[in-house]
Amino acid sequence: MVPVFVYSPDEERPWAPGAASRWWLHHSLVALDAGLRKIGSRLVVQRGDSLAALRRCIRETGATLVCWNKLYEPAALKRDARIVAALDDDGVSVEQSNAALLFEPGTILNGQRLPYRVFTPFWRTVEKHLPTLLTPAKAPRKLPPVPRSVSCIDIDDLALSPEIHWDEGLAQTWTPGEAGALKQLAQFSKHIAGYPTGRDRPDLIETSRLSPHLHFGEVGPRQIVAALRHSDTGAARTKGVDSYLRQIGWREFAHHLLFHFPATTNEPLDQRFAKQKWRRSASDLRAWQRGATGIPLVDAGMRELWRTGWMHNRIRMIVASVLTKNLQIHWLQGAQWFWETLVDADLANNTLGWQWVAGCGADAAPYYRIFNPVLQAKRFDPVRGYIRHWVPELARLPDRWIHQPWAAPEAVLQRAGVEFDKTYPRPVLDLGESRKRALQVYSQLR
């Protein structure tokens, strides 16, 4: 057996991996190679056209069977179909498996044999099938050595790591690789009873933070189901496990949807929204990207993203709502920024998330649901710990004002050392006015 990785970003266009994903990929490959070496093998790394790289490897090894786990993104499916046909012509067998999802897309359909467009009935059907899932096999303890004659480049030659070192925050936050994923899963599993109540609190670490590991296949959803089911004891744990698996269900839903509706990476699923007119404002977009909108909860989230390559789910919803609804900037602009900066950037989840918030996707938030970052901060960042951490220039403001400094009396601002447009920006929008405008735009689209 010869483990091969081929890096071919051109084959993933227009959604080739962004900067944060490339960072993760580099470290994930290093970890994979180290793991393989421990059991007698090594990772053969190639770059360029996948088919050409595989054919070279087949020539060099005399392989008669090529196996891989499937990806279900539109570009990957097209590429894989081309490779399967070409290898078939060469007389080489191919075996494709599913490790990325609980079930193959196309196998979970509604009564009319059509894809689900609403999450709850989709998840009910998946839940019914969960007991049929096979427990994943254990990893091998020994593998045969890879012959020296097999051509291979260094992982460094893929030039995935950034030349300018903006990645310090990522390195401090994450441990890419299977060992990091399993450790994270084991730790999370101990606290899973707190997940249903804690999962909405960005100031606490109550979610699993497994998203990048799942995206890169360092742990699979079936492994997660198996691990949690086996450890399930007590009512609180059961509630925690159920609530968590439902989120894994959203991931599954997103991937099945993308499989059935591949154009949604760039177009709204709900075609009524295709005629929506968007605002263009480079300065507002930049303020949003840089965490300089003057709206503390939004700025906190965008800075967390920039520094760590990750953002809490509730905050993702809030920053996306402010961009698409209050600022009326196209959801694709937000999706592209997330694509570049998230370590868990995932075409299916990102598309679903953005279209859900913008109101144009499957089972989407209704158009009149416009998150108010001030009320959201009161509710989900009750002691404002999240804002204080990510927006330290406001840290000395009392709880009452820190999430809405524009409303604070001058004396309070002075005492806290806050000076608008010097230490912290004035808000780029009026939340109330922009909400009214958004409601008008959306009501015309219905």
SS3 assignment, position 97: strand
Among 98, 161, 238, 247, binds ligand FAD (CB under 6 A): 247
> Is 353 among the residues that bind ligand FAD (CB under 6 A)?
yes
Q: Give the separation between CA 355 and CA 362, rounded to whole angstroms.
A: 8
- Run of H or E residues at 185: helix 178-190
For 339, other C-beta atoms within 10 Å of its C-beta total 23
Distances (CA, A) of 279 to 206, 282, 294, 351: 36, 10, 19, 20
Residue 346 annotated as binding? yes
Residue 342 binding ligand FAD, by CB under 6 A: yes
Radius of gyration of the chain (CA): 23
Q: Which of 19, 54, 87, 214 binds ligand FAD (CB under 6 A)?
A: 214
Which of 34-42, 159-167, 170-178, 351-359 is the region at the interface with ligand FAD (rule: CB under 6 A)?
351-359
CB neighbour burial string for 242-274, b if at least 16 within 10 angstroms, e if fewer = eebbebbbbbbbbbbbbbbbbebbeebbbeebe
Binding characters for ligand FAD, 267-306, by CB under 6 A (x = yes): ----------------------------------------
- The residue among 244, 266, 123, 141 whose CA lies nearest residue 190 is 244
Is 195 assigned a ligand-binding role in the annotation?
A: yes
Comparison of 55 and 191: residue with beta carbon closer to ligand FAD = 191
Stretch touching ligand FAD by CB under 6 A, among 2-10, 70-78, 101-109, 249-257: 249-257
CA 21 to chain centre: 10
Cα–Cα dist 192/209, whole Å = 12
Candidate list 61, 281, 313, 336; residue touching ligand FAD; CB under 6 A: 313
* Residue from the set 26, 117, 222, 251 that interacts with ligand FAD by CB under 6 A: 251
Instruction: Tell me which stretch binds ligand FAD (CB under 6 A): 37-45, 150-158, 204-212, 283-291.
Output: 204-212
Tell me the three-class secondary structure of 45-84, residue by residue. Answer: EEECCHHHHHHHHHHHHCCCEEEEECCCCHHHHHHHHHHH
Using CB under 6 A as the binding rule, whether residue 108 contacts ligand FAD is answered as no
Of 214 and 416, CB closest to ligand FAD: 214
209 carries a ligand binding annotation: yes
Residues 21, 189, 207, 289: which binds ligand FAD (CB under 6 A)?
A: 207
Stretch that binds ligand FAD, among 55-63, 64-72, 161-169, 309-317 (CB under 6 A): 309-317
The least CB distance from residue 332 to ligand FAD, in Å, is: 12
User: Contacting ligand FAD (CB under 6 A), which of 20, 32, 108, 210?
Assistant: 210
Does position 250 bind ligand FAD by CB under 6 A? yes
Helix (H) / strand (E) element for 98: namely none
Cβ(376)–Cβ(318) below 8 Å: yes
Q: What is the largest CA-CA distance in the chain?
A: 79
> Is 349 one of the binding residues for ligand FAD (CB under 6 A)?
yes
Give yes or no for a contact between 311 and 301, defined as CB atoms under 8 angstroms apart. yes
**Closest distance to ligand FAD from the beta carbon of 102 (Å):** 12
| CB of residue 281 to ligand FAD, shortest distance in Å | 19
Which DSSP string do the residues of 143-156 spell out, in sequence order?
-PPPPTTS----GG
How far apart are CB 251 and ligand FAD at their closest, in Å?
4
Amino acid at 58: I
State which residue, 225 or 320, has the beta carbon closest to ligand FAD: 320
Helices (H), 6-49: 19-38
Amino acid at residue number 232: D
Task: Report, in Å, the least distance between residue 158 CB and ligand FAD.
Answer: 22
Is 42 one of the binding residues for ligand FAD (CB under 6 A)? Answer: no
Distance CA 72, CA 214 (A): 14
Render 243-254 in DSSP notation, one character per residue.
HHHHHHHHHHHH
Residue 437 sits in the site that holds ligand FAD (CB under 6 A): no
E strand or H helix at 379, and its extent?
helix 373-380
Give least dist CB 227 to ligand FAD, A: 13
Q: Does 211 interact with ligand FAD (rule: CB under 6 A)?
A: yes
Nearest residue relative to ligand FAD (C-beta): 353
Rule CB under 6 A: is residue 316 a binding residue for ligand FAD? yes
| Feature table: binding site for FAD | 195, 207-211, 244, 344-346
* Binding-site residue ranges: 195, 207-211, 244, 344-346
Question: Which residues contribute to the site for ligand FAD (CB under 6 A)?
Answer: 199, 207-211, 214-215, 247-248, 250-251, 254, 313, 316-317, 320, 338, 342, 344-346, 349-350, 352-354, 357
